[in-house]
């Protein structure tokens, strides 16, 4: 099945700079997709530290188990990724498949197996064709090239499944005179929900920092980026975010979260992750609207997030947005079902800049025409003020259309 | 918008018996629907006790607030229902609208206002046109007729919104020689989720029982019936179940939950409620499959229910069912995201009688053809055994199709 590119896609893939010492190769094992790459190998230099965040699914894939274990070292030398098969729910045979592919990489690069990270994305419950995969993976070390615009495009393309466009982002951070580069690639378009989904994201920087600082920054960043997006409320077995910091910038290493250079690094990391997260929503299966949902005056930020996600995940809200129907009653419904404290009689709701409701009922002078006009745009905003406290949160989602049904009723065909 | 009757509808509306003393009238106020009734008045005899269960939405409708208050009396004389407008999120004006319609009924029937229950279903956030409604409601007392097959059909028809068929059910219970009748009508087809949804259900019996026993039996019954169905995970502001017991059977009143006649009464009540709940799922917006999801060996019954609902609410599971695609990997995904304890490596999954997975991977000898064959039926079964305890639960849902999008992207148009 070949899908048209999402109408919400960026105009083009960004020109992503090299990250010194990071080398890229892609290949085609033909696991599921024909006439395209479905394998990615990335080599990082000695001394690279690695941080990670993973799905909270209680049925994680074999590669997720493998990466979680490896992460205790806080260091790594390589990443191998395949698309088309998630190697999830594949039992002991699945674990052995990871070890086998990892061995192929480790002997090809001359590194130890625990230094090799792996991610797989695609159909759940089918065994990886290990021999076919290994035959192709074995060719990749000789094909490695320095990272740069062309390499990043190829890498972002190889990890796609139902994605209709490749996803990349970059930012720089001034670390007291040394300019750090951060580059990320990601994939994901369905089975997307907080705590991530069939979402893979790999981020690289040349900054030198400790494993603890890297893990702390990444964990916080995930909370406000990947964990704030939802396409269909479904959570995958395979979600993986890995951050590789090579240290090749040779800055004085950042060893404490209180280092004055941390805010700049954090801001750049968050910018890359939020950009990638938004691109995933923009590629939401069947999406025609990019939707920002903000909840204010909740009991806490967490309560605000729960309410915002109840709105963002509501099929009735999402179908109304698809129809450009300013049916704000469905937003009231979603606030009511979220299970968090809200004052019905103080509740206010906006669609774009048009306030629909205030004080528990329709606002006198509310213009449905103005709200509808806003909903005709490809990017729409909803806000609910629930009138009980200071908590606020913003989440991003897309609408629910016939396209979603088409894609998901046909995915395995 | 006129919708074709659900392919999962019963062949015909059942022949529902009279409940002595219960009288029915319907009328047309033209609130939203043309050429059909949208008003229902039911009068019950003096001494009727009333039990109820309501939405857990924190933004309940004005009629729900009114009924909750009245229920403290445990008694009632009348029920008035309108379809087309939910009178939800309508502020003080909405409360006043309830009082106004109730006054019209109370003066027409010569009963006190707190003895009049009201339910409204339809669009949220619009004010009830009180004058138009009262003009029609005022005509209904003179039109009351004894309940019986024709009256129940008319009553079930008048309360519909997007329902494609009218819903009714009946059962009898042997109360130590006296044969009690239980008759129920219901509406609902979207915004359906546990803790009910835009779901109205009104149940009537001639049995004599105390208000405490009635409330206890109803609360328990709701847990295993209406709270075990989901169409789209959305929860309405207006869900209402009311049970009226007239006592006209003149049996020795059942005053204790330990009365030996209670099990027969409970079984009959549960049968009516489960039948109505299943009919609501069969009318799920766009539904082409009636789906039973059972979870076994969970940590508790509640955990089993949470996992079963995660499966039943997953858009990816529901679209796979619509496509008759035995994509059991999506069931694994849903088990994993439910947040309840499950042993991935002991997990077993069945589609119909075909076991797809065991011990954390595909079952050797699994026949996808057999599973697919089962999914071609209009009624399908899924089971997941999560391998950690003794808890079990069954929930019912429907598939997610283009029809759902059509209906919900066009509801207000």
Buried b (16+ CB within 10 A) or exposed e, B133-162: bbebbeebbeebeebbeebbbbbbbbbbbb
Buried b (16+ CB within 10 A) or exposed e, B289-307: bbbbbbbbbbbbeebbbbb
Give yes or no for a contact between B387 and B297, defined as CB atoms under 8 angstroms apart.
yes
In a domain, B1, yes or no: no
Q: Which of residues 48 through 87 in chain A touch B, CB cutoff 8 A?
A: 55-60, 86
What pLDDT shows up at residue B191? 60
Shortest Cα–Cα distance, B195 to chain A (Å): 9
Report CB contact under 8 Å: B57, A337: yes
What pLDDT shows up at residue B232? 66
Q: How far is CA A82 from CA A33, A116, A154, B300, in A?
A: 11, 14, 13, 38
pLDDT mean over A299-307 = 94
Give yes or no for a contact between B9 and B282, defined as CB atoms under 8 angstroms apart.
yes
Same domain, A373 and A327: yes
pLDDT over 70 percentage in chain B: 95
pLDDT mean over A250-264 = 96
Report CB contact under 8 Å: B404, A319: yes
Closest CA to A19 of A42, A40, A41: A42
What pLDDT shows up at residue B410? 62
What pLDDT shows up at residue A138? 98
Report CB contact under 8 Å: A58, B342: yes
What pLDDT shows up at residue A191? 60
Buried b (16+ CB within 10 A) or exposed e, A85-100: bbbbbbbeebeebbbe
In a domain, B6, yes or no: no
Same domain, B248 and B337: no
The reported pTM is 0.83
Report CB contact under 8 Å: B89, A329: yes
Phi-psi label, residue A91: left if phi above 0, alpha if psi -120 to 50, beta otherwise: left
What pLDDT shows up at residue B197? 39
Out of A234-238, B396-400, B406-410, pick the least confident.
A234-238
Mutate to test the interface with A, among B361, B385, B397 (most CBs of A within 10 A): B361
Mutate to test the interface with B, among A1, A32, A58 (most CBs of B within 10 A): A58
Q: pLDDT band for position B195 (50/70/90)?
A: very low
Terminal CA-to-CA distance of chain A, rounded, Å? 8
Count CB neighbours of A369 within 10 A: 9
Report CB contact under 8 Å: A322, B90: no
Q: pLDDT band for position B413 (50/70/90)?
A: very low
Residue indicated by tokens 């409320």:
A233
Alpha-carbon gap, residue B37 to B155, rounded angstroms: 9
The beta-carbon neighbor of A58 closest among B325, B328, B336 is B336
Same domain, A256 and A342: no
What pLDDT shows up at residue A197? 39
Two tokens at B75?
């008694």
Q: pLDDT band for position A230 (50/70/90)?
A: confident
The beta-carbon neighbor of B314 closest among A234, A332, A334 is A234
Using DSSP bridges, classify how beta strands A361-362 and A354-358 pair: parallel, antiparallel or unpaired: antiparallel
Report CB contact under 8 Å: B336, A60: yes
What pLDDT shows up at residue A194? 37
Two tokens at B47?
């001494």
Alpha helices (H) in B4-90, listed in sequence order? 62-70
Tens digit of pLDDT for each residue in B44-64?
A: 999 999 999 998 777 888 999
The strand order across the sheet containing B391-398 reads B361-362, B354-358, B348-351, B379-385, B290-298, B391-398
pLDDT at A397 > cutoff 60 = yes
Alpha-carbon gap, residue A384 to A34, rounded angstroms: 46
pLDDT mean over A133-139 = 97
In a domain, B3, yes or no: no
Q: pLDDT band for position B339 (50/70/90)?
A: confident
pLDDT mean over A148-152 = 97
Which chain A residues have a beta carbon less than 8 Å from that of B360? 89-91
Q: Which helix (H) or strand (E) holds B10?
A: none
pLDDT mean over B203-214 = 96
pLDDT mean over A216-244 = 84
In a domain, A327, yes or no: yes
What pLDDT shows up at residue B236? 66
What pLDDT shows up at residue B254? 97
Report CB contact under 8 Å: A316, B408: yes
Count CB neighbours of A150 within 10 A: 11
Same domain, A308 and A248: no
Q: pLDDT band for position B161 (50/70/90)?
A: confident
Shortest Cα–Cα distance, B57 to chain A (Å): 5
The beta-carbon neighbor of A57 closest among B90, B124, B337 is B337
Instruction: Flag whether residue B332 sits within 8 Å of chain A, measured between CB atoms.
Output: yes
Mutate to test the interface with A, among B198, B344, B388 (most CBs of A within 10 A): B344
Which chain A residues have a beta carbon less than 8 Å from that of B93? 361
In a domain, A17, yes or no: no
Instruction: Flag whether residue A134 sits within 8 Å of chain B, measured between CB atoms.
Output: no
Which chain A residues have a beta carbon less than 8 Å from that of B405? 319, 322, 400-402, 405
Give yes or no for a contact between A79 and A118, defined as CB atoms under 8 angstroms apart.
yes
CATH number, domain of A197, equals 3.60.70.12
Shortest Cα–Cα distance, A66 to chain B (Å): 15
Report CB contact under 8 Å: B234, A314: yes
pLDDT mean over B352-363 = 92
CATH number, domain of B345, equals 3.10.20.340
Same domain, A71 and A181: yes
Residue of A nearest to B235 (CA): A337
Two tokens at A104?
């192929």
What pLDDT shows up at residue B250? 93
Residues A126, A131, A136, A142: is their CA dihedral positive or negative?
A: positive
The better pLDDT of the pair B2, A142 is held by A142
Which chain A residues have a beta carbon less than 8 Å from that of B413? 323, 325
Instruction: Flag whether residue A13 sits within 8 Å of chain B, measured between CB atoms.
Output: no
Which residues of A are part of the catalytic machinery? 198
Tens digit of pLDDT for each residue in A52-97?
A: 999 877 788 899 999 999 999 999 999 999 999 999 888 899 999 9
pLDDT mean over A126-137 = 95
Highest mean pLDDT among A131-140, A238-247, B276-285, B306-315 belongs to: A131-140
Same domain, A299 and A263: no
pLDDT at B251 > cutoff 70 = yes
Question: In a 3-state reduction of DSSP, which class is residue B250?
Answer: coil
Instruction: Flag whether residue A372 sits within 8 Å of chain B, measured between CB atoms.
Output: no
Q: Which of residues 141 through 200 in chain A touch B, CB cutoff 8 A?
A: 190-191, 193, 195
- Domain tally for chain A? 2
The beta-carbon neighbor of B58 closest among A193, A336, A356 is A336
Q: Which of B227, B257, B280 is the last residue of a domain?
A: B280
Same domain, A180 and A200: yes
Average model confidence (pLDDT) across chain B: 91
Mutate to test the interface with A, among B86, B193, B234, B318 (most CBs of A within 10 A): B234
Report CB contact under 8 Å: A124, B330: yes
What pLDDT shows up at residue A235? 61
Residue indicated by tokens 């991977």:
B361
Closest CA to B141 of B20, B19, B23: B23
pLDDT at A409 > cutoff 90 = no
Report CB contact under 8 Å: A362, B315: no
The beta-carbon neighbor of A336 closest among B59, B123, B410 is B59
Closest CA to B307 of B340, B351, B347, B345: B340
What pLDDT shows up at residue A123? 83
Residues A203, A205, A208, A213: is their CA dihedral positive or negative?
A: negative
Alpha-carbon gap, residue B166 to B280, rounded angstroms: 10
Q: Which of B280, B314, B341 is the last residue of a domain?
A: B280
Using DSSP bridges, classify how beta strands B290-298 and B379-385 pair: parallel, antiparallel or unpaired: parallel
Could you give the ipTM of this predicted complex? 0.74
Same domain, A274 and A336: no
Q: Which of A280, A301, A317 is the last residue of a domain?
A: A280
Out of A266-275, A298-307, B183-192, B316-325, pick the least confident.
B183-192
Tens digit of pLDDT for each residue in B16-29?
A: 999 999 999 999 99
Terminal CA-to-CA distance of chain B, rounded, Å? 8
Q: Which of residues 204 through 243 in chain A touch B, CB cutoff 8 A?
A: 232-237
pLDDT mean over B351-370 = 93
Phi-psi label, residue B362: left if phi above 0, alpha if psi -120 to 50, beta otherwise: beta
What pLDDT shows up at residue A360? 85
pLDDT at A412 > cutoff 60 = no
pLDDT at A234 > cutoff 80 = no
Same domain, A34 and A141: yes
Candidate list B121, B198, B240, B401, residue with the active-site label: B198
Which chain B residues have a beta carbon less than 8 Å from that of A397? none
Burial group, residue A191, by CB count within 10 angstroms (0-12, 13-18, 19+)? buried
What pLDDT shows up at residue A2? 65
pLDDT at B115 > cutoff 70 = yes
Report CB contact under 8 Å: B357, A93: no
Same domain, A42 and A133: yes
Q: pLDDT band for position A190 (50/70/90)?
A: low
Same domain, A313 and A221: no
Residue indicated by tokens 């300019």:
A179
Shortest Cα–Cα distance, B197 to chain A (Å): 10
Range of the structural domain that residue B81 is part of: 23-280
Phi-psi label, residue B281: left if phi above 0, alpha if psi -120 to 50, beta otherwise: alpha
In a domain, B15, yes or no: no
The better pLDDT of the pair B124, B335 is held by B335
In a domain, B122, yes or no: yes
What pLDDT shows up at residue A410? 62
Same domain, A275 and A332: no
- The values of phi and psi at residue A408, to 5°, are -85, -15
The beta-carbon neighbor of B191 closest among A58, A93, A333 is A333
Average model confidence (pLDDT) across chain A: 91
Alpha-carbon gap, residue B17 to A126, rounded angstroms: 54
Instruction: Flag whether residue B335 sits within 8 Å of chain A, measured between CB atoms.
Output: yes
Residue of A nearest to B337 (CA): A57
Shortest Cα–Cα distance, B369 to chain A (Å): 14
Tens digit of pLDDT for each residue in B99-113?
A: 999 999 999 999 999
In a domain, A344, yes or no: yes
């Amino acid at each position: 099945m070949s899908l048209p590119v999402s109408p919400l896609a960026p105009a083009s893939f960004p020109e992503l700079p090299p990250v010194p010492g990071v080398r890229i190769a892609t290949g085609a094992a033909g696991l599921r997709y024909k006439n395209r790459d479905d394998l990615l190998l990335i080599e990082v230099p000695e001394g690279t530290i690695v941080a990670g965040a993973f799905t909270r699914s209680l049925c994680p894939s074999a590669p997720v188990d493998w990466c979680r274990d490896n992460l205790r070292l806080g260091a790594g030398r390589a990443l191998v990724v395949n698309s088309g098969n998630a190697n999830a729910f594949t039992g002991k045979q699945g674990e052995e498949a990871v070890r086998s592919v990892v061995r192929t990489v480790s002997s090809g690069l001359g590194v130890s197996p625990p230094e090799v990270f792996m991610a797989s994305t695609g159909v759940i419950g089918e065994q990886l064709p290990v021999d076919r995969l290994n035959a192709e993976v074995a060719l990749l070390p000789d094909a490695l090239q320095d990272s740069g615009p062309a390499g990043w495009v190829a890498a972002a393309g190889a990890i796609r499944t139902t994605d209709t466009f490749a996803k990349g982002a970059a930012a720089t951070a001034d670390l007291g005179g040394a300019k750090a580069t951060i580059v990320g690639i990601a994939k994901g378009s369905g089975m997307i929900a907080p705590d991530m989904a069939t979402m893979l994201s790999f981020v690289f920087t040349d900054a030198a920092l400790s494993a603890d600082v890297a893990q702390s920054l990444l964990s916080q960043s995930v909370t406000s980026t990947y964990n704030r997006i939802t396409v269909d409320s479904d959570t995958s077995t395979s979600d993986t975010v890995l951050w590789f910091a090579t240290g090749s910038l040779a800055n004085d290493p950042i060893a404490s979260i209180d280092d004055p250079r941390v805010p700049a690094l954090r801001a750049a990391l968050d910018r890359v992750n939020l950009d990638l997260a938004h691109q995933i929503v923009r590629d939401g299966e069947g999406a025609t609207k990019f939707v920002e949902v903000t909840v204010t005056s909740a009991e806490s930020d967490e309560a605000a997030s729960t309410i915002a996600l109840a709105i963002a995940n509501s099929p009735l809200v999402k179908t109304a947005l698809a129809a450009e129907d300013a049916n704000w009653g469905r937003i009231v419904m979603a606030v009511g079902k979220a299970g968090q404290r809200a004052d019905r009689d103080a509740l206010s709701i906006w669609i774009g800049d048009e306030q629909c409701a205030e004080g528990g009922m329709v606002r006198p002078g509310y213009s449905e025409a103005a709200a509808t006009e806003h909903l005709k745009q490809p990017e729409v905003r909803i806000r609910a003020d629930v009138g009980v406290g200071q908590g606020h949160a913003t989440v991003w989602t897309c609408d629910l259309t016939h396209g979603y049904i088409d894609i998901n009723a046909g995915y395995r065909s």
